[in-house]
Structure 1
């Protein structure tokens, strides 16, 4: 069974993203990236990304990720804080450590598309 379905499909991941975005929009370090952004739209896009990567173990189009993040000015430190919050949210949501490590590795593989500042 794939990770997307293993934890409950769209309902589980939607709840996960609600908790995650509450945390990152409250983060002193990351909240600046979400001022004036449509969080519901971002979450709906991420459900699609999660489904593509966790169901098929496919690769999300890097050009789309790069284009979506190029004007955000995301630094390596921002990315690391984001990963830390994502990891803790996976854990708090009941995702096993082994599965969380695999999911985080998938996300880490997109670092070069997301980080735009040294």
Structure 2
């Protein structure tokens, strides 16, 4: 049985990814990437791309990850924040650790295609702010947003 079949197919994974993007809309550094983006369309595109790697049908018809993300200027820090939240969403939805690890290895395999900048001004501004927010309000925020719950601010 494939990972895709094990968890109920397309709707389950679409729900996970839709939840991820809802969380990212609240992320102070990531949210600006999603201004004017149709969340339903985006989550379906991402689901279409993911499911072929986990045993689902090959229905993705978009561009390569490099083409799709080239204009976004995504930094390693931003990629890692999204990856941590991605992992947490799957675990929260009941995907096993082993299956989540497999999915995350697929996500990680695209890092070099998605990351196009070393740093950004918003990275430099937000890192110290994250530390303060996490220290003062992390216990409360961890109940509200997976990006806070999953983040390990250094």
For the criterion TM > 0.5, the same-fold answer is: yes
* Preserved contact between residue 3 and residue 99 of structure 2 (Cα < 8 Å): yes
Distance apart, 1:18 and its partner CA:
2.0
Equivalent-residue separation in structure 1 for 2:83 and 2:75 (angstroms): 12
Kindly tell me the number of residue pairs found equivalent between the two proteins.
115
* Preserved contact between residue 24 and residue 31 of structure 2 (Cα < 8 Å): yes
* Preserved contact between residue 3 and residue 55 of structure 2 (Cα < 8 Å): yes
User: Could you list the per-position Cα deviations for residues 67-103 of structure 1 after superposition, in whole angstroms to 9, with x for gaps in the alignment?
Assistant: 0000001000000000110011011010111111111
> Structure 1-normalised TM-score?
0.90
Q: Tell me what 1:115 maps to.
A: 115
Q: Tell me what 1:12 maps to.
A: 12
Structure 1: which 5+ runs fail to align? none
* Preserved contact between residue 87 and residue 104 of structure 1 (Cα < 8 Å): yes
Measured on the aligned residues, the alpha-carbon RMSD in Å equals 1.8
User: Could you list the per-position Cα deviations for residues 26-77 of structure 1 after superposition, in whole angstroms to 9, with x for gaps in the alignment?
Assistant: 1112101101112211111112112211116x9x89x611000000010000
Q: Tell me what 1:47 maps to.
A: 47
Which structure: larger Rg? 2
Distance apart, 1:105 and its partner CA:
0.7
* Preserved contact between residue 65 and residue 113 of structure 2 (Cα < 8 Å): yes
> Structure 2-normalised TM-score?
0.70
* Preserved contact between residue 4 and residue 50 of structure 1 (Cα < 8 Å): no
* Preserved contact between residue 18 and residue 39 of structure 2 (Cα < 8 Å): no
The 4+ residue runs of structure 1 with deviation greater than 3 A are none
* Preserved contact between residue 70 and residue 114 of structure 1 (Cα < 8 Å): yes
